[in-house]
Amino acid sequence: MTAVSSTGSTLGALQRSRRSHLAWLSVVLSVLACACLLSVSLGTRDVGWADIFAGVTGSTETIAQAVVVVRVPRTVLAVLAGAALGLAGAVMQGVTRNPLADPGILGVNAGAAMAVVIGIAWFGMETLDAFLWTAILGAGLAACFVYAIGSLGRGGATPLKLALAGAATAIASSSFTIAIILPRNDIAGGVRSWQIGGIGGASFDAILPCLPFLVAGLILCLLSARGLNLLALGDDAAAGLGAHVAWARGGAALGAVLLCGATTAICGPIGFVGLVVPHVCRLLVGADHRWLLPFSALTGAILLIGADVIGRIIARPSEMDVGIVTAFIGAPVFIWIVRKRRVRDL
């Protein structure tokens, strides 16, 4: 009977972990709801609950209600962009099997921003649709470029080589972006947001066109969860378990590129969300991507709202761009990850 009892305990262990995941899910959802409320009520001018209700239902009678009407799309954008970046980070870490992967560190966001700035400066691009397509193209090209450079030489695309290739690409793209903007006084004001990401000027008109891309990216990423689980075991083991390695990797990467490109098209390059969030989520729910991906999306939304609110409070009466705040939060985490894992493992 020992077989039966220990089988029972094994299955019990699986069920226990499932229950704890669900508990964490409700915690994360509640925190997200609180963060949204804070984001609508806090800022240069704090707003009370009554005005929030009135503002959300469309009333703009008082200044406070008008402020709410502005802050609602801003909050929605923070949720979407944070979720997209958190999810993209988790997917990139899975695809490259690299704990340092992140849309910022791998140069994908910087590539997207550079593409948009080139479009504005050289081709007079103005419409949001054009920004979107250009950003996604730039993100895709940057991803391919970094992966190609990172795979050169012996051993293929090791985490360390990818991170170096990505960092170099990110720096090169942002320097190039600055070089394009500097002599152009006519566009300098408008393109500042392509150097540091921010969500200040959000409006539903700007958010709507991105939605199809975000949804497509979301679906692709969530569908790739099982494939990413297998890829984590190494290509040989994954193929041995019946995974289509190239398809799984390509589909997931395409999903991440769509998310990063669409996000960068409205917000500019925001770094470190995709790095920090998956590591925190792994502590909560482990390495199974079927849990990790949704958690990364929710936690990414929380982090970006939090960073945005902090940026509004600490720089009163002005505001600090959310991209700067996430960098302040993300840099120590980056160092922690590098220290935690011996360099040999990278």
Binding piece for another protein, criterion CB under 8 A, among 63-71, 189-197, 234-242, 310-318: 234-242
221 in Cβ contact with 88 (< 8 Å): yes
Q: Which of residues 276-315 bind another protein (CB under 8 A)?
A: 282-283, 286-288
Residue 155 touching another protein (CB under 8 A): no
Closest CA to 308 of 230, 200, 229: 200
Nearer to another protein, 70 or 232 (CB): 232
Residue 332 touching another protein (CB under 8 A): no
Residue 339 touching another protein (CB under 8 A): no
Residue 15 touching another protein (CB under 8 A): no
Nearest 5°: the CA angle 206, 208, 212 is 130
Q: Which two tokens stand for residue 232?
A: 């984590």
Residue 18 touching another protein (CB under 8 A): no
340: helix, strand or coil? helix
The per-residue b/e assignment along 129-141, b for 16 or more CB within 10 angstroms, e otherwise, is ebbbbbbbbbbbb
Taking the C-alpha atoms of residue 227 and residue 80, their distance in angstroms, rounded to an integer, is: 24
* Minimum CB distance to another protein, residue 12 (Å): 9
- For another protein (CB under 8 A), the number of binding residues is 32
Nearest 5°: the CA angle 188, 201, 47 is 140
How buried is 264 (Cβ within 10 angstroms: 0-12 exposed, 13-18 middle, 19+ buried)? buried
* Minimum CB distance to another protein, residue 345 (Å): 9
Nearer to another protein, 27 or 241 (CB): 241
Residue 275 touching another protein (CB under 8 A): no
* Minimum CB distance to another protein, residue 284 (Å): 10
The interface mask with another protein, positions 83-102, x = CB under 8 A, is --------------x-x---
* Minimum CB distance to another protein, residue 13 (Å): 4
Closest CA to 304 of 114, 131, 106, 89: 89
Binding site for another protein (CB under 8 A): 3, 6-7, 9-11, 13-14, 16-17, 97, 99, 226, 229-230, 232-237, 239-244, 282-283, 286-288
